[in-house]
Amino acid sequence: MEKWTGFSPVGFQDIDGPSSMKEILGVLVQWLRLDDLVRVVCASRRVTIIVYHDPSPEALRRHLGYFAKRYTFITMDAFAQALISKRWQDLPRYPMVLTVDDGHVGNIRVLDVLAEFGVRPMIYLCSGIVGTERAFWWKTAAAAALGREALKCLPDAERRELLRQAGGDLDLPQGPRQALDWSEIEALSSVADFGAHTRSHPILPRCTDPHCTEEIALCKTELEAALGRACSHFAYPNGDYGEREVAEVRRAGYVTGRTIDIGWNGPNTDPYRLRVIPVRDDASTPWLAAQMTALPSWLRHLKLKIGGRLRARSKPGTSGGVGEKAPA
């Protein structure tokens, strides 16, 4: 049975509101040291996973400066090994794994920052998009015109066909390159590891069974052939997954599956349902501190859930479903 979880890749990060209010909240969190309190209570013996998409070098340098004083960076491999071998005691205190989704071309700009801080993130790549001029579908003009959230609700073949009719054929080059090319991936391999994020970044629960299998399994095969090394970690596009997707990720031979469900990861966390603490790529330091408490994400989650229930109540016969999800 299909289970919708998580939020959209861009819009899940925080509560709505003007940036000045976020700044005030962030400053208050720092003044009360709530971020440190939550860190000590929730993250000293549990793994914090952070998700980025396309951060600027300046923002990432600021964020890593904040994290470096409070956490110990570890790799996804080290985390997976401790989790699967039950050797949790091997992990340092306040362990943190950085992850970066999609393989945006801008990721090459942060190479020096990653080297500077000695952090080795897991970059999840879409094997059918990196190394090509194909577009990330949600970044096309066609998707903007049709409405990204509405498109996410459609069966995958219908979504692709609508985009094609609107001039956004996902099989054709779409103008300026949006994804990393293979030489950039090779350069980044000195400071990052690579995982899989499907071939074309569909909403997996909206795919047919054979298509879902293909997107998950072939991505691993293609990335391993191109990278010349094992690709053992997977991230669910848009954070959307259900029992079928978890089973497919396991069957394909991945050792972890990262969601965008909110939370920290302990020794009993399901390796195929890893949780994250959402932060914005461009968050100011006060707002980053607020986001590290996870409170903004929980508030947004609550707001979307209540909103979905109210909509369902006012329209008998409808359910919240993906309509509850935040705008991308």
Binding piece for Zn ion, criterion CB under 5 A, among 86-94, 99-107, 209-217, 244-252: 99-107
Q: Is the dihedral of CA 52, 73, 276, 240 positive or negative?
A: positive
Name the minimum Å distance from CB 103 to Zn ion.
Answer: 9
- What character string, x for contact with Zn ion (CB under 5 A) and - otherwise, covers 76-95? --------------------
Could you say which residues in the range 237-276 bind Zn ion, by CB under 5 A?
Answer: 237
Residue placing its CB nearer to Zn ion in the complex, 23 or 149: 149
Name the minimum Å distance from CB 235 to Zn ion.
Answer: 7
Q: From the list 14, 35, 54, 102, which residue makes contact with Zn ion (rule: CB under 5 A)? A: 102
**Residue 234 phi, psi (nearest 5):** -130, 145
Residue placing its CB nearer to Zn ion in the complex, 195 or 237: 237
Contact between 156 and Zn ion by CB under 5 A: the answer reads no
Give me the DSSP letters along 72-102. EE--HHHHHHHHHTT-GGGSPSSEEEEEEEE
Contact between 101 and Zn ion by CB under 5 A: the answer reads yes
Residue nearest to Zn ion (CB): 101
Contact between 54 and Zn ion by CB under 5 A: the answer reads no
Name the minimum Å distance from CB 117 to Zn ion.
Answer: 23
- Cα–Cα distance measured from residue 315 to residue 12, given in angstroms and rounded to the nearest whole number: 25
Residue placing its CB nearer to Zn ion in the complex, 25 or 97: 97
Matching residue, tokens 């709530």:
34
State the number of binding residues for Zn ion (CB under 5 A): 4
Name the minimum Å distance from CB 201 to Zn ion.
Answer: 6
Residue placing its CB nearer to Zn ion in the complex, 126 or 290: 126
Binding piece for Zn ion, criterion CB under 5 A, among 96-104, 127-135, 255-263, 267-275: 96-104
Name the minimum Å distance from CB 198 to Zn ion.
Answer: 9
Q: What is the dihedral of CA 309, 310, 315, 318, to 10 degrees?
A: -10
Binding piece for Zn ion, criterion CB under 5 A, among 9-17, 25-33, 146-154, 263-271: 9-17
The closest alpha carbon to 103, from 50, 177, 49, belongs to 177
The closest alpha carbon to 102, from 204, 1, 10, 14, belongs to 10
CB 53 within 8 A of CB 178: no
Binding piece for Zn ion, criterion CB under 5 A, among 153-161, 233-241, 273-281, 317-325: 233-241
H-state helical runs in 228-321:
243-251, 285-291, 295-314
- Cα–Cα distance measured from residue 278 to residue 49, given in angstroms and rounded to the nearest whole number: 8
- Cα–Cα distance measured from residue 233 to residue 120, given in angstroms and rounded to the nearest whole number: 14
CB 327 within 8 A of CB 7: no
Residue placing its CB nearer to Zn ion in the complex, 9 or 263: 9
- Cα–Cα distance measured from residue 84 to residue 130, given in angstroms and rounded to the nearest whole number: 30
Binding piece for Zn ion, criterion CB under 5 A, among 188-196, 229-237, 239-247, 291-299: 229-237
Binding piece for Zn ion, criterion CB under 5 A, among 97-105, 113-121, 143-151, 305-313: 97-105
The contact set with Zn ion (CB under 5 A) reads 9, 101-102, 237
